[in-house]
Structure 1
C-alpha cells in the first residue's frame, strides 16, 4: 500500500490564521509532507502570501493587495497578531522540513517566484501550481527542474492532455469532482493526483480509497491521524 502525502492547505488553515507563518509552522509540527500557500504581488513588487485579491477577509485592513506596498501589507494584522509573510520568509522556513506548494495567483508573480527559488537553490523543495496553466508552461521554460501542478475545479474531458501539454507533474483537483477513473487515467499518463480540500474524516477516507497520491486539507491533524490509524503514515 503506497503512502499518501499530506498537504497543509494555507498552512493549517482550519487551526490557525491561514497563510501565516504561524499556520505553516503548525502544519509542519503536525507532520505534513507539503505546505500549500498562495502568492500575490504588492504594488512595489513584493511577493506576499495572500489568497484573496483583497486583504479584507483575512486581515484588519482594506484594499487590493496589488494596490498596497509591502510595508503597508506588513503593517496589517493577519490574525492573532501575525503579519502577512513574504514568500522568502515562508520558503526559508519550510526548506528541509516540508515541500512548499506555491500557488501563483497572478501572472506577474511567476518570474520573481522562480528567481527566488533559484536564489535559494530550492528547486527540489517546491512545486509550483496554478489554475492559469499558461503560467506553468512559463515556469517550465524558465526552469524545467521545477515541478509544476495543474489546478482544476471541474474536470474537463481533456484534463490529462491539458496537464501534459504544459509539462505538469501532477493534477490538483477539487475532491468532490474526482473519481477512480480519473485517478487511474492520470497514473497511466504518468501524472500524480492531488485533491483539495476534504476536511471531514469520511471525505478523507473516500479520497484514500480512490488511490490519490496527495490530499490537501485545512485539517491536516485529522488526516494524519487517520492515515496513521490505517497504517499509511
Structure 2
C-alpha cells in the first residue's frame, strides 16, 4: 500500500511547510500531498485554505496578497509559506508529489512548472473541481490525475473514467468493500484520506485500498511497513 503524508506530516509539524514535508520524507512515506493557490502576483504557493488566517499569524485571502507579503508570515515554528518551486526543490524526486489544485486558474501554471522542472513522472495532480483536471490533460496528457470526493456518487467510477483519472480519492469514512471492488474492476486505484488513528488506518489496510493519506504518517509507516 502506498503511504502518503497529508500536507507533509500535518499533525506533527506545521502543515504544508518545508519542515512538515521533510518530516514526512524522513519517516519514509512514498508520496506527499500538498495544496496550491495563486497569489495576487500569480505565484504558486503551498497552502490549503483560501486565506492565511488559520495557518499563519496573518490575515487575508491568498489571492489578495503578494508573494512578498506572504513570505513575511509565520506559518508555525518560524516556517514560511513555501512556493511550489521551493517544495519541488526540497523533495528532489525522492517521493511522488501529490498536488491538489485548490485555487482557480492553478492548473496551467502548475503544469508549466512541472514541465520546466521535468517531473511529469513524479507528480499526481488532484482536485475536487474536476474541470481543473480536464484542463490539465488538455495541456499535458502525461501527468497522472486523481479525482477527489468526500462522499462518492453512485456512478463515481464512471465519472472518474470520463474525466480521465487513474485514481479516485475518497474520504476514508465513505469507503467500503464494494467501492474498492468496483474501482479495481474498472481499472481504477482507490486512495483513502485521511484516517489519523490506528483503528481508522487498519480499516483501510483491511479493505485493501491502494493508498492512504494521513496527517499521521508516523502511524501509517508503523502499521504498513
- Could you state the TM-score of these two structures normalised by the residue count of structure 2? 0.99
Whether 1:70 aligns to 2:67 is yes
Whether 1:107 aligns to 2:126 is no
CA distance in 2, matches of 1:223, 1:119: 33
Q: Equivalent residues in 2 for 1:51-200 (5 A)?
A: 51-200=48-197
The answer on whether the counterparts of 2:37 and 2:101 sit within 8 Å (CA) in structure 1 is: yes
The answer on whether the counterparts of 1:41 and 1:48 sit within 8 Å (CA) in structure 2 is: yes
Secondary structure at the counterpart of residue 105 of structure 2: helix
The answer on whether the counterparts of 2:172 and 2:194 sit within 8 Å (CA) in structure 1 is: yes
Whether 1:21 aligns to 2:18 is yes
Q: Is there any run of 5+ residues in structure 1 with no aligned partner, and where?
A: 229-233
CA distance in 1, matches of 2:103, 2:162: 20
Q: CA deviation at 1:227?
A: 1.2
The answer on whether the counterparts of 1:95 and 1:122 sit within 8 Å (CA) in structure 2 is: no
Q: CA deviation at 1:107?
A: 2.5
Q: CA deviation at 1:91?
A: 1.2
Which deviations, in whole Å up to 9, do the C-alpha atoms of 1:64-113 show, x marking residues without a partner? 00000000001100000000000001112213210000000122111000
Secondary structure at the counterpart of residue 107 of structure 1: coil
CA distance in 1, matches of 2:144, 2:171: 20
| Superposition RMSD in Å | 0.6
The answer on whether the counterparts of 2:50 and 2:103 sit within 8 Å (CA) in structure 1 is: no
Bigger shift: 13-22 or 99-108?
99-108
CA distance in 2, matches of 1:94, 1:123: 14
The answer on whether the counterparts of 1:95 and 1:125 sit within 8 Å (CA) in structure 2 is: no
Partner of 1:211: 208
